[in-house]
Amino acid sequence: MPNGLFGGMMPVLEKGLDLSVMRHKLIASNIANEETPGYKARDIDFQKELNKVMGKSKISMTGTHSSHFAIGKASSGGIEIQTERGVGDGIDGNTVSLEREMVKMAENKLRHDAAMTLLSRKFEGLKSAIIGGR
């Protein structure tokens, strides 16, 4: 099979799950720092990063394993972490909006759940094929 066992979808689903976990951590960090003076909310462009895996641009990973991401600097493991500037700056320079972060968290959960459902169905189909539909 030229595209692997799942027709090339496995790397996309795997990276989608990795990205949703990374984004969840960033959003949780933003929420935890809601009242930290000068804190700038951080996020990733989920679609842009997923497109890299889908062949629309090349992905370059660093680290000991392709699924390991370190959260910190503006670019991490080939994943561009964006800092939100000027978006709802408070008097103290903090850009975190609890409402915006909660919406992003809900959207991210939907993406994660969708990828998990697709992956689960792929494996259920494989299991059914192996055991003969019993």
Q: Is residue 2 part of a domain?
A: no
Domains identified in the chain, total number: 1
Q: How many CB atoms lie within 10 A of CB 94?
A: 19
Residues of the chain with pLDDT under 50: 1-2, 57-63, 65-75
Q: Is residue 4 part of a domain?
A: no
Q: What is the pLDDT of residue 52?
A: 82
Q: Is residue 1 part of a domain?
A: no
Q: Is residue 22 part of a domain?
A: yes
Q: Is residue 125 part of a domain?
A: yes
Give the DSSP per-residue string, 46-76: HHHHHHHHTTSS-----SSSTT-----SSEE
Q: What is the pLDDT of residue 111?
A: 94
pTM: 0.73
Q: Is residue 95 part of a domain?
A: yes
Range of the domain at 22: 9-131
Q: Is residue 3 part of a domain?
A: no
